[in-house]
Amino acid sequence: MFSKNRRTIKRSRTIKRMRAIGTCHPSITNPRSRRVWPSSSAAWSLGQVRQNDVMTPFDAGSEPVYYVVEMTVPFTSLAEAQAKAAEPLAEHVRLTTDLHRAGEVLMAGAFLEPDAQDGYLRTMAVCRSREAADRFVAGDPFVRNGTVVDHRVRAWANLFAGPRPAS
């Protein structure tokens, strides 16, 4: 007969409680699981990741190349941009959200610290195609009103696209 020590019993009770309240990651119950979960609990609390979502290190359905839009705006922080350009920023957020819902912009945001060389704020968006990146730039209110100091679109290789490497 198999006997469990106290530590094993306590761990299994903890896992059962976590399963009951829906906070248990599958990798906890299966240490050999190849699932990768966000390290940040913020993603869980914001509802961006649900308990049954499965994220794998290699996704055969993802694109091999994405396009990164980098923009420089003459603000030193996001708070300054919110104070000095509230209306264009609101329009920028609406446009970005619409493109994200359409699947053209995968993620976007501002870097939390200004660039060390010039002190300006940098933003970035990852787009599914070059055309989506061009639409994002053309529709951006900061580009249209001349606020953007500089921008560029760069092709970016997706490490996790394609077939899994042989193990």
Sheet with 121-127, strands from edge to edge, namely 105-110, 121-127, 65-73, 150-157
Whether the pLDDT of residue 91 is over 60: the answer is yes
pLDDT at 23: 44
d(CA 64, CA 77): 33
Quick one: CATH architecture of 65-157?
2-Layer Sandwich (3.30)
Instruction: Grade residue 158 by pLDDT with cuts at 50, 70 and 90.
Output: confident
Please state the domain extents for the chain: 6-45, 65-157
Which pLDDT tens digit goes with each residue over 21-65?
A: 544 444 444 444 444 434 433 333 334 444 444 444 444 456 789
Which ranges of 22-154 does DSSP label H, i.e. alpha helix?
Answer: 26-29, 41-45, 78-84, 86-101, 130-139, 141-144
What is the per-residue pLDDT for 64? Answer: 86
Share of the chain above pLDDT 70, in %: 59
